[in-house]
Every structure is written in C-alpha cells, then in structure tokens.
Amino acid sequence: SYTTDTKSREENKKTLESLYSLSVDITKIRRLKEWVLLQDVAYVKEIAGILQEMGADETTVANILERCPEAILHTPAEINSQRALWQLVCQNEKQLIKLIEQFPESFFTTEYHQNQKANILFFQELGLKNTIITRFLTSAPNIFYNPVEKNKNVIETLQRNYLKLGGSEANMKIWILKLLSQNPFILLNTSTTIQENLEFLQKNNFTDQEVLQLLSKLKGFIFQLNSTIMQKSMLFSKNIFKCSDQELKQLVLKCPALLYYSVPVLEERLEGLLKEGISIAQIRETPMVLELTTQIVQYRIKKLSALGYDIKSGNLESLNGTKKDFEVTFGKIQSKKERPIFNPVAPLHIED
C-alpha cells in the first residue's frame, strides 16, 4: 500500500525531524529503505512512545527504527493490537521488547493480525508451550500468516498418518509437538504433499515402522521435498554404492540425508571426500558423513591429521556428529596420543 517510486518525491521533513530527535541514524534508513522517508504519513513519535511504554530506552528505540523503519508507517492502534497479541505468549513486556529488538520485522508485520491471533490460540490448544510459540513468531513468522484452517488441516493429516503407520494414540500428541518444535515449516506444506511423500516411501518398500523412523529422523524435512527429488537422490546413491534395493533402503535408514539432499549436493560432498583420499567403501560403511558440508569435513580431517590420525586407513566415525560430538571424539584421540605408553616388562636403560 506504500509507494516505492522515489524519483519525483521528496523526503518528509516532519518524519526526518522526528527521527533526528530520537537519535536515529537516517543514513542507515536511506541506504536500506529510503521509500519509508518519502511517505506523507508516518507515526514516528507515537510508535516510539509505545516502545518506550514497554520499557525500551532511547538506544533500543533507535536500533529498532533503524532496522525496521517501516514500523513508523503503522498506526498506533495496529501496533497496540500486535502488542496485546504477543503478550499472549510473552512472560512480560521486558521479554517482549527484547524480542522486538531482535526480530522487528516479525513484530511489525501486522497485515495478518487475525490469522496470527487464531494460530496462536490454536497452537496453545494443541499443547505447544509459549516459549516454543514465541520462537515460531520470531523465526518462522510466515506460518502464522496461513489461515488457521490450513494449519489445522496439515496437523490432522499428520495425526491421521501417524496412526495409520502404527503410531499409538498415547504417543501421538508428543510426536506431533516434537515434530513441530523441530521444524515448524512443515505447516507451509499442503496436506497433498505430505500424503504424496509418505506414499512414495511406501512404494519404495519402506515398512510403516521404517517410515515413522524416517519422519522422526528427518524432523519433518521430508515434507519439504517432492518424490522426483527423492527418486533421483536414491538412484544416484544406488549407482555410486553399487547396491541392491534392500541395501539402499538400509543405507537410507542409516543416513536419511541420502533421501533429503539433491543429487548436486550429494555429488559435491562425495567429491570432497574422495579428494581427501577416502574410498567409496568407507563412505558406504559410514554414510552419515554425507550429512556434513565439504568445508566441515576438510576442517575435521585437518585437525585429526595434526594428531597423526590417518583417516584413510581408519573408519569415518571420528568425523561424524555435531560440532560438540566431534570435539568429544577429538579430545579422546588427543588424550590417548598424549598418554605415555609404559611397558612394565621392557628393560630399563640406565646409564652407568
């Protein structure tokens, strides 16, 4: 609803004066979103006043308006409604202002207010904790822009399939909440996509129990794929590892990344490993190493080599895992290397 034609228009002097009085760095706004300064109507003092009421000091207000200058184009009524909405899940205004400072764009998107409200209430009914909902509001705000019926539909499809795949009624709620907490973007998919991807796995001879296992391991990311990508990735892996359908299935269960990553990504990662002198047989033995980027693999091999550990002759388990897992493995290898080897039956060489 705002014009972005900047050629023939002048900056609004009143807006500039109000921003200067709040110690806002105008050059930042000019560089990022100059169009905001050209609008005839802006609510600089009013929006700053609301933020101050919530406990924001001068620096915080300036920081928020520099990062999200379009905040001043919203009416005080819109911002107060948004404030009341976010208070449904925030412990207090101190936490709220902290979130606004970190994620101003999420807070100042007011066009979907009714959808946001309906979705917050739905997530609370579903049993999601407020801390999780605030995390969604800031890191995955677009799931709140969906009409609540669409999100309900996706959740119902997941619940129905969970039971159909042999999941128990008693564990269903925990499963759904865990899946949502790990990957709220599931809700951006359609019920049809979810259905198609589950059917694809079943057509490829994964048992119901194995499909459930994959869903949990992939944290729901499987729903962001399509059957064509998965088919190509599986075919690529089958050719590279020269394995049967049954062996391929076991590899995928061991390393769902073989299903999730596209062929170009898998090719690049394989190439990186082969350049380091690692064999296809080693990768087939520990396929989880393909979950790591080439840069991470190179860094870890370098660190292990410095300890005299030859990755080419060992297995690749020591490369695997999160950063924390690797640090633990590295620490164990390092302490083993530093520990003096004492042989009690070796003769002592004592100088005369």
Task: Give the start-to-end residue ranges of the domains of the chain.
Answer: 10-110, 226-335
- Supply the CATH classification number for the domain 226-335: 1.25.70.10
What is the pTM (predicted TM-score) of this model?
A: 0.78
Degrees to nearest 5, angle at CA 221 with 219 and 223? 120
List the one residue out of 49, 63, 57 whose CA is nearest residue 94: 57
CA distance linking residue 34 with residue 28, whole number of Å: 9
Q: What pLDDT is stored for residue 343 in this prediction? A: 54
Contact (CB, 8 A) for 72 and 44:
yes
Q: Name 224's Cβ contacts closer than 8 Å, sequence gap at least 6.
A: 185, 186, 189
* Distance separating alpha carbons of residues 263 and 260, to the nearest angstrom: 10
Whole-number pLDDT of residue 344: 53
Is 290:283 a contact under the CB 8 Å cutoff?
Answer: yes
Element (H, E) at 5: none
**Per-residue pLDDT, 352:** 38
Q: What angle do CA 91, 94, 96 make, to 5 degrees?
A: 65
Q: Cα separation of 318 and 307, whole Å?
A: 13
Q: What is the pLDDT along the chain (352 residues), one digit of tens a residue?
A: 455 554 457 999 999 999 999 999 999 999 989 999 999 999 999 999 999 999 999 999 999 999 999 999 999 999 999 999 999 999 999 999 999 999 999 999 989 999 999 999 999 999 999 999 999 999 999 999 999 999 999 999 999 999 999 999 999 999 999 989 988 998 998 888 888 888 999 999 899 999 988 888 887 777 778 888 899 999 999 999 999 999 999 999 999 889 889 999 999 999 999 998 888 999 999 899 999 899 998 898 888 888 888 887 777 888 888 888 888 888 888 887 766 555 555 554 544 3
The count of other CB atoms within 10 Å of the CB of residue 181 is 15
Rounding to the nearest 10 degrees, give the CA dihedral for residues 249, 254, 259, 263: -100
